[in-house]
């Protein structure tokens, strides 16, 4: 996706959206356009294509990783980083410093070991369940 | 999700206080009861099982010296539990390991491989055979990593700690010092 945000030429009114939703979607977000939603001429929301939101998330993630890389470079800590390796930035391995960095810097892990994005787990409530004393015979 | 580990000084109970704590999941033991080529073994058996009379054997995972790995890159992966890729990803790595940083300069860094398991007699789990005692917070980090390895379930530190809090707070027979975050609550039975 282009980093440029492309806006629809004409805003979409509430009533028009309500009456012509499929048409509005076809003419705006399906064309990659961001459309201002207006009520009596005042913008109160935007229709945004899903890939724009995904691009924002990606930028946010990269920003977090970039912050970590800058911190590692400044602290001269050898972290397992493809970005630093490809740029020829190399520090001597020091287990103590790496452990210190890993436990001090708020590292954000974004993907599982197969490269799939980590999803937020649905909230769950822990509940205490007493164990039974019953034992099977094996 | 945030990184895996806490600082070494927060991970272990000081040796002089260890005897106040019963042997629990995550503690590290050493002795002739382990296979001869094992540096040590980490208790991976659930804590609530360890005191049951019917439990005769307990599950132990192998501890290696960090120096045994073939490269510094592998050592990096074990210490961090992730790697950074150029496309903006930080990806979980070496999920079958748990890093055990040295407690003092006289010791060596070690790590556990969850893929290498054995069973030992429960009688060998004693304060004498225990060489590292995890703090309650350290055990939360261990359980979090263990759950990820066994079930590929990426829980946060806070979620695992909350599950531990609920369990410990409800247990009037909890042995040893309680975590400050899990005081005993009134019995619900």
More confident residue, A108 or B72: B72
Instruction: Name the nearest CA neighbour of B172 among B162, B187, B158.
Output: B187
Does A43 score more than 60 pLDDT?
Answer: yes
Confidence label for A61 from pLDDT (cuts 50, 70 and 90) = confident
Interchain contact B53–A (C-beta under 8 A)? no
Nearest to A93 among B76, B93, B95 (CB): B76
Backbone angles phi, psi at B132, to 5 degrees: -140, 130
Determine whether the interchain pair B84/A95 forms a contact, defined as Cβ–Cβ distance below 8 Å: no
Three-point CA angle A75, A76, A80, nearest 5°: 110
CA-closest candidate to residue A107, choices B120, B83, B96: B83
pLDDT of residue A21: 94
Q: Give the pLDDT of residue A3.
A: 56
CA distance A91 to chain B (A): 11
User: Average of pLDDT values for A69-97?
Assistant: 95
- A126–B93: do the CB atoms touch at under 8 Å? no
What's the rounded mean pLDDT across residues A52-78?
88
Confidence category of residue A123, pLDDT binned at 50, 70, 90 = confident
Mean pLDDT, rounded, of chain A: 89
Residue B165 near chain A (CB below 8 Å):
yes
What confidence tier does A10 reach under pLDDT thresholds 50, 70, 90? confident
DSSP H helical ranges for A29-137: 50-75, 82-86, 95-104
3-state secondary structure of B111: strand
Range in A58-67, A73-82, B62-71, B164-173 the model is least confident about: A58-67
E strand map for chain B: 28-29, 40-43, 57-65, 82-84, 90-92, 97-100, 110-121, 130-132
- Judged by a CB distance cut-off of 8 A, whether residue A80 touches chain B is yes
Q: What is the rounded CA–CA span in Å between residue A65 and residue B132?
A: 34
Whether A9 and chain B come into contact, CB under 8 Å, resolves to no
Q: Is A87 on the interface with B (CB under 8 A)?
A: no
From chain B, the residues in CB contact with A93 under 8 A are 72, 75-76
Which residue stretches of chain B have pLDDT < 50? none
Residues of chain B contacting A80 with CB distance shorter than 8 Å: 73, 76-77, 80, 82-84, 93
**Interface confidence (ipTM) of the complex:** 0.94
Flag whether residue A71 sits within 8 Å of chain B, measured between CB atoms: no
CB contact under 8 A, B89 and A100: no
The pLDDT of residue B187 is 63
**Residue numbers in A near B77 (CB within 8 A):** 80
- Taking only the tens place, the pLDDT of each residue in A18-40 is 999 999 999 999 999 999 999 99
What mean pLDDT is predicted for residues A79-84? 95
The pLDDT confidence band at residue A72, using thresholds 50, 70 and 90, is very high
Taking CB atoms and an 8 Å limit, are B89 and A131 in contact across chains?
no
- Whether residue A69 has pLDDT greater than 70: yes
Q: Which of B91, B99, B170 sits opposite A128 (nearest CB)?
A: B170
């Amino acid at each position: 996706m282009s980093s440029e945000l492309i806006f629809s030429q004409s805003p979409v009114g509430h009533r028009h959206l309500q009456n012509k939703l499929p048409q509005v979607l076809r003419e705006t977000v399906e064309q990659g356009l961001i459309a201002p939603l207006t009520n009596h001429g005042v913008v109160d929301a935007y229709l945004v294509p899903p890939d724009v939101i995904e691009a924002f998330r990606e930028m946010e993630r990269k920003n977090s990783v970039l912050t970590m890389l800058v911190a590692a470079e400044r602290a001269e800590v050898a972290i397992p980083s493809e970005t630093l390796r490809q740029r020829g930035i190399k520090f001597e391995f020091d287990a103590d410093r790496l452990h210190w960095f890993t436990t001090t810097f708020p590292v954000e892990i974004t993907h599982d070991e197969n490269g799939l994005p980590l999803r937020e787990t649905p909230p769950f409530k822990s509940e205490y369940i007493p164990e039974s004393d019953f034992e099977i015979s094996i | 999700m945030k990184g895996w580990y806490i600082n070494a000084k927060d991970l272990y109970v000081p040796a002089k206080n260890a005897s106040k704590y019963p042997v629990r999941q995550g503690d590290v033991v050493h002795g002739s009861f382990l296979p001869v080529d094992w540096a040590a073994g980490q208790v991976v058996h659930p804590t609530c099982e360890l005191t049951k009379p019917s439990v005769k054997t307990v599950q132990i995972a192998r501890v290696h010296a960090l120096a045994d790995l073939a490269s510094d890159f592998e050592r990096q992966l074990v210490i961090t539990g992730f790697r950074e890729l150029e496309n903006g990803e930080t990806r979980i790595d070496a999920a079958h390991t748990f890093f055990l940083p040295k407690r003092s300069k006289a010791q060596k860094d070690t790590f556990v491989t969850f893929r290498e398991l054995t069973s030992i007699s429960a009688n060998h789990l004693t304060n004498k055979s225990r060489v590292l005692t995890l703090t309650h917070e350290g055990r939360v980090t261990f359980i979090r990593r263990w759950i990820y390895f066994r079930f590929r379930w990426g829980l946060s530190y806070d979620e695992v700690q909350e599950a531990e809090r609920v369990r410990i707070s409800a247990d009037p027979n909890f042995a040893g010092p309680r975590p400050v975050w899990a005081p005993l609550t009134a019995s619900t039975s």
